[in-house]
């Protein structure tokens, strides 16, 4: 039911809040639904997906990259950013702190999948 709400919701902020809720509810069957939002053109949905996936222990480079971007360059507060009054940076930092140090350091050293030689 929550997945249907997220899929049909026109407000990016409301949809992002739904994605975060899916992560907090902890039903691992929702992971395949959440993962595609990592590629969303909408910043709130990318962040929400990354945060939600960390609740399931999914913290690969793509997830860490999105969270790192939010901490480094928080999106401007807008009317659509309803979750936590638009304070995504703090929660993104908390989620990063809960990922493995190796994954976090590797992603920070190689942002956006670029390889170092």
Residue 64 structure tokens = 């860490």
Give the model's pLDDT for residue 108.
58
Q: Would you mind telling me the total number of residues written for the chain in this entry?
A: 117
Give the model's pLDDT for residue 102.
45
How do the domains of the chain map onto residue ranges?
Answer: 2-110
Q: Are 20 and 87 in contact (CB under 8 A)?
A: no
**From the centroid of its chain, how far is CA 91?**
10
Q: For the segment 53-79, what is each residue's pLDDT rounded down to a tens digit?
A: 999 989 888 998 898 888 887 766 656
- 81 burial (CB, 10 Å; 0-12 / 13-18 / 19+) is buried
User: Does residue 111 surpass a pLDDT of 80?
Assistant: no
> Residue 87 and residue 13: Cα distance in Å, rounded?
12
Give 116's DSSP letter. Answer: P
What pLDDT band is residue 91 in, cutting at 50, 70 and 90?
A: confident
> Residue 57 and residue 61: Cα distance in Å, rounded?
13
């Amino acid at each position: 039911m929550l997945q249907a709400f997220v899929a049909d919701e026109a407000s990016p902020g409301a949809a992002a809040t739904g994605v975060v809720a899916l992560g907090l509810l902890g039903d691992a069957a929702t992971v395949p639904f959440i993962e595609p939002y990592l590629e969303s053109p909408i910043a709130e949905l990318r962040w929400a997906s990354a945060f939600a996936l960390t609740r399931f222990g999914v913290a690969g480079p793509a997830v860490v990259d999105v969270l790192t971007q939010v901490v480094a360059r928080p999106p401007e507060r807008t009317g659509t950013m309803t979750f936590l009054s638009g304070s995504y940076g703090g929660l993104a930092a908390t989620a990063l702190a809960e990922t493995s140090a190796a994954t976090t350091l590797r992603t920070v050293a190689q942002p956006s999948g670029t390889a170092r030689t």
